[in-house]
Structure 1
Amino acid sequence: MKVRAARGGIYMASITFALRPVSMGLAIVLARLLVPKDFGLMALAMIMVNAANYFTDMGMRPTVVQTKEDIKKVAHYAFVIVMLTSTLFTVAAALAAGPVAELLGGGQELVPVLRWMSLYIVLDGLWIIPEALLRRDLKFKQLGLASIPVELSSTLISIPLAIMGFGPWSLVVGQLLGQVIRIIILWAFARPWIWLRPQRWELPIVKGMFRYGLPSMAGGMTKYFQNQIDTFIVGRNLGPATVGIYNKAFVLTTRLADMLTTSVFGNVLFPSYAKMQDEKPRLTRAYLLSTRMVILIIMPVALGLAITAPILVPVLLGPQWTPMIPLWQVFSLYGLTRPISTNAAPLFSAIGQPRRNLTASFVLLAVMIPALLLLIGPYGAMGAATAVAAANVAAMLFNVFQVNQVLPGTAVKTLLESLPFFLAGGLMALGVLLSQNSIVSLAGGENVLALVLLIVIAAIIYIAAVLVLQRALVIEIYELAVKALGIDRRWPRLVPARLRPGK
């Protein structure tokens, strides 16, 4: 199981890292073609779409992954439930576009965008069950391969439309066609289509599905509010243009962290944790190892984005985005809370305690909402970003406490095992700050060359520090990679003797 989970993590992480530079590059091109208000209208529309999607899911995605009932029946029941609710919400969203636009602070410009984006809801329902079945069967290679065109298609479609002057509609068309591509690919990988085969409905199974799914949905809805309430408040108080800057700062800085923690480690670890839910010692080791691995990757990304922001933002995005710099820095550091908080979520779901995720979300909202209302008036978008970051720190600490209740001793171990990474990250940040002026002078100003040189310096310092401070973890990751990818079997001479088959 350890090797299989590692193989899944390696496939997903490798594809994520391969796609990230391309995806970020395309996002930067699109940001240079459109104005912040265009992105603000889309961000406001996604508040409605994402809310509907959490309701239409009905908790069926984690239910399909976790269930011990006949999977053919559960998959069919779940698909019918999801499609029924998604169709109803699509119709309701289209009809209510006018009042919703006023509520979100987008005005009449937002109304047609909301009506067309309501189609996103029913399209979302079509791929939920196929994806859940792939995750249930630990088919991370297929999930990783499916993510390649899905990750790139929306932006690739939007860029030529933006060049032709379609403004926010380039984003709308890109999102909708991206969903269609996602459906086609996931359905192709998830054959046979067992969710389409009619099954006799058995009430006890359906009740069990809702018994597990509804608390998961409630946790998801609370997570939705914690992710969207700030955008809603910024939109209501500051308008679509500020929402565009705020949302783009959040997306560009936290997307990699979220992909690694939620899309990569979350999707891989939930089914893996579920299969060892009754073995506490193994579960503890798996949780601690995965947390260390995520922190290892997130630390240089979060700190690097924060310290290079004054050069990175104007060089890559253009001068129209310079108001984003302080928001960019706050959200970059916020990413440091993601490894622990997001690693706890699949753990609680896997052991059949999704209510703990709901409780953590309530704690976050209890801190975030008062802080948002208090800070947005005097400090604007920066106040909102600070409130979000502070609330996530509080939620992270609460999740450490909750995990320690389930797996005693993990709180102290998590703290102690995180310290070397903070030291390595601190050394990296110090090195970049000390060399920044010299590098800018050498490169002839704040340009792409200066940015690349600073990134190279940061990478060298961080890698060297990790090799010194966390040598055992690096060796363990290397050995897991060798076994997961089958290098020990295919090319035994390339690996140490102790890792070769039969040793």
Structure 2
Amino acid sequence: MHEELKQKLEFGVLWNLSGFFGSEAIRIVLKFVLAGLLIPKDFGIVSVAVLFISFLAIFQNIGASQAFIKIKNNSRKAKNTLFYIDALINVVAFGVAFFFAPQIASFFMKESPQLILTLTLMIRILVFERLIYIFAIVPSAVLNKQVKFKQLKLAQFIGTLSYVVVAIVLAFSGFGAWSMIYGQMVTSVVSTVMVFMFVPFVPSFSFSLKLAKKYVKFGKNLFVSSLVFIVRKEGNQAVVGRVLGASMLGIYHLGAVIMNVVIEGIEVAISNVLFPIFCQINSQKNKLRKLYFRVTEFGTLVVIPAIIGLVILAEDLTLVLIGEKWLPIVPIIYVLAIGALLRTLVFPAGSFFLAKGKPKIVKNLSLINFIIFVVLIYPFVIWLGIKGAAWVATITSIVTFVYYFAHLFVYIKEFLRNFLFVLLKYVVFSGIMAYAVYHVKNLFVMNILTLIFVMLVGAIVYFVLIYLFNEPVVRDLKDFIKEKDL
């Protein structure tokens, strides 16, 4: 592997991780601040608007950008073709959403005409927010193609920071749920402007029908996968909002955000770079096996203690940071923690099987989970309320774990032995940490200072164990990527 490519891969991982966790750490802090200022119904109303816009946002991922990145054509005409394809699809999709916003709002908000009007206005404003992104389509694709993750993540981070400032100021000023909507508008403008500054692009009147056909052909399968993913990811919130109302949706949304941020951060940040690395060493079975377990170990190093710590402190964190009105999120966190732990143990599997030329394994899992979701979500929500939605998400995670585990057992030599070694090591470390945290927290009446102290105790205990009994896995992974024979 050329030295330049190795550096791009290495820094790609670092920038994807730092960019995601920098932005998401800020967003989590913001969620807690806003939760203390707002009521669950405010979160629920915004969640409905955002989840509908998120569903439409899959049209911004029809695969044209990925095709542009893959195809070796950087001409002006290629960029224009990408711009006009994505712009046209987005204008049509979000135009339909703008005109049908009242009907969408009526479907979800049965409580009052005022809520329907509020949600209608929110959807229409968020439509404009997403249309702003059209001007970032080509600059973002160019930066991705050039593997310039630093600029992309910097734009994301600054945009998120602006969101925090605007949302908190407006929330303190009494804007309620609208503080999050206006904050979302600002972050889109700021992020788009920054990306545009890195790669200025003004479309001209040139278009290639030949390239357009290639882009659409390449992207159609990706679009279907994205559609299945977004229905599974956002569908539970849609059913909760429809059946249980805005307040219950607000509670479920906050619990899901808190639980999923770490595991999704690991998955998204590393997967962006992991696939090309797997492809580079696909013919070297021993090297591929080693890398799979190194990456799995990196994920478990971070996620297992974070999830176990969150479960132990869930009630204390809720009472201290956002108040008693949000206590119903605690059982949601408990249920989602099961699935999050299992997903952590197999998160590199998708990239592994794609690199092995086995996309059907990944596709079949998506279809299985989609069917499970469609069959279970409505009856579980009727039966168990918001905990039912959490259990459906957890069941699909259990299926994902069992499915990938069975296939990895076939494709990776000595998989079970290596898997148990990675798992047991960090379960033991995290268990000792959990024991210390549980007993230390019972010595105090919880407030913000004692809560910070207890979390510091847990972190110190855990990393002392890592230092004493395990070489730093982050340095190990970095050294592995930099090996000359990779």
TM-score by length of 1: 0.84
Match of 2:143 among 112, 134, 148: 134
What is the CA–CA distance in structure 1 between the aligned matches of 2:159 and 2:355, rounded to whole Å? 27
Counterpart for residue 311 of structure 2: 306
Q: Indicate if the aligned counterparts of 1:134 and 1:143 stay in contact, CA closer than 8 A.
A: yes
Match of 2:10 among 3, 6, 20: 6
What is the CA–CA distance in structure 2 between the aligned matches of 1:417 and 1:304, rounded to whole Å? 19
Amino acid at match of 1:144: K
- The verdict on how the C-alpha distance between 1:477 and 1:286 changes in structure 2, with shifts beyond 3 A counting, is closer
- The verdict on how the C-alpha distance between 1:37 and 1:472 changes in structure 2, with shifts beyond 3 A counting, is closer
What is the CA–CA distance in structure 1 between the aligned matches of 2:474 and 2:255, rounded to whole Å? 32
Q: Indicate if the aligned counterparts of 2:122 and 2:181 stay in contact, CA closer than 8 A.
A: yes
Gaps of 5+ in 2: none
The 3-state SS of whatever aligns with 1:70 is coil
- The verdict on how the C-alpha distance between 1:28 and 1:285 changes in structure 2, with shifts beyond 3 A counting, is same
Offset at residue 244 of structure 1 (A): 0.5
Q: Indicate if the aligned counterparts of 2:369 and 2:399 stay in contact, CA closer than 8 A.
A: yes
Q: How does 1:166-315 map to 2 (within 5 A)?
A: 166-189=175-198, 191=199, 193=201, 196=203, 201-203=208-210, 205-262=211-268, 264-273=269-278, 282-315=287-320
Q: Indicate if the aligned counterparts of 1:428 and 1:462 stay in contact, CA closer than 8 A.
A: yes
What is the CA–CA distance in structure 1 between the aligned matches of 2:92 and 2:285, rounded to whole Å? 42
Q: Indicate if the aligned counterparts of 2:296 and 2:347 stay in contact, CA closer than 8 A.
A: no
Match of 2:123 among 91, 97, 114: 114
Cα-to-partner distance string for 1:20-50 (whole Å, 9 max, x where unaligned): 5544333322221211111111111122211
What is the CA–CA distance in structure 2 between the aligned matches of 1:58 and 1:410, rounded to whole Å? 39
Cα-to-partner distance string for 1:172-224 (whole Å, 9 max, x where unaligned): 111122111111112222x264x846655152x43333333111111111000
Offset at residue 284 of structure 1 (A): 4.3
Offset at residue 450 of structure 1 (A): 2.2
What is the CA–CA distance in structure 2 between the aligned matches of 1:370 and 1:284, rounded to whole Å? 36
Q: Indicate if the aligned counterparts of 1:117 and 1:172 stay in contact, CA closer than 8 A.
A: yes
What is the CA–CA distance in structure 2 between the aligned matches of 1:5 and 1:265, rounded to whole Å? 10
Amino acid at match of 1:87: V
Offset at residue 103 of structure 1 (A): 2.5
Instruction: Give the total of aligned pairs.
Output: 473
The answer as to 2:330 corresponding to 1:325 is yes
What is the CA–CA distance in structure 2 between the aligned matches of 1:342 and 1:475, rounded to whole Å? 20
Q: Indicate if the aligned counterparts of 1:76 and 1:199 stay in contact, CA closer than 8 A.
A: yes
What is the CA–CA distance in structure 2 between the aligned matches of 1:415 and 1:131, rounded to whole Å? 40
What is the CA–CA distance in structure 2 between the aligned matches of 1:121 and 1:19, rounded to whole Å? 19
Counterpart for residue 454 of structure 2: 454
Q: Indicate if the aligned counterparts of 1:11 and 1:140 stay in contact, CA closer than 8 A.
A: yes
What is the CA–CA distance in structure 2 between the aligned matches of 1:138 and 1:429, rounded to whole Å? 40
What is the CA–CA distance in structure 2 between the aligned matches of 1:367 and 1:127, rounded to whole Å? 36
CA RMSD of superposed structures (Å) = 2.9
The 3-state SS of whatever aligns with 2:442 is helix
The 3-state SS of whatever aligns with 2:446 is coil
Q: How does 1:421-440 map to 2 (within 5 A)?
A: 421-438=426-443, 440=444
Offset at residue 242 of structure 1 (A): 0.6
Cα-to-partner distance string for 1:301-321 (whole Å, 9 max, x where unaligned): 111111111111110112221
Offset at residue 421 of structure 1 (A): 1.9
TM-score by length of 2: 0.87
Offset at residue 455 of structure 1 (A): 0.9
- The verdict on how the C-alpha distance between 1:384 and 1:419 changes in structure 2, with shifts beyond 3 A counting, is same
The answer as to 2:395 corresponding to 1:390 is yes
- The verdict on how the C-alpha distance between 1:59 and 1:404 changes in structure 2, with shifts beyond 3 A counting, is farther
Counterpart for residue 73 of structure 2: 70
Offset at residue 2 of structure 1 (A): 4.3
Offset at residue 135 of structure 1 (A): 2.5
Identity between Structure 1 and Structure 2 (%):
24
Offset at residue 272 of structure 1 (A): 4.2
What is the CA–CA distance in structure 1 between the aligned matches of 2:333 and 2:245, rounded to whole Å? 19
Amino acid at match of 1:295: T
The 3-state SS of whatever aligns with 1:254 is helix
Counterpart for residue 466 of structure 2: 466
The answer as to 2:49 corresponding to 1:40 is no
Counterpart for residue 494 of structure 1: none
Q: Indicate if the aligned counterparts of 1:56 and 1:89 stay in contact, CA closer than 8 A.
A: no
What is the CA–CA distance in structure 2 between the aligned matches of 1:396 and 1:306, rounded to whole Å? 21
Amino acid at match of 2:208: W
Q: Indicate if the aligned counterparts of 2:42 and 2:250 stay in contact, CA closer than 8 A.
A: yes
Q: How does 1:400-415 map to 2 (within 5 A)?
A: 400-402=405-407, 407-409=411-413, 411-412=415-416, 413-415=418-420
Q: Indicate if the aligned counterparts of 1:52 and 1:121 stay in contact, CA closer than 8 A.
A: no
Greater RCO (Cα-Cα under 8 Å, separation 6 or more): 2
What is the CA–CA distance in structure 1 between the aligned matches of 2:287 and 2:209, rounded to whole Å? 35
Offset at residue 283 of structure 1 (A): 4.5
Amino acid at match of 1:297: V
Counterpart for residue 425 of structure 2: 420
Offset at residue 333 of structure 1 (A): 4.0
Cα-to-partner distance string for 1:39-78 (whole Å, 9 max, x where unaligned): 111111122211111124212233333x143243554332
- The verdict on how the C-alpha distance between 1:277 and 1:80 changes in structure 2, with shifts beyond 3 A counting, is farther
Offset at residue 428 of structure 1 (A): 1.8
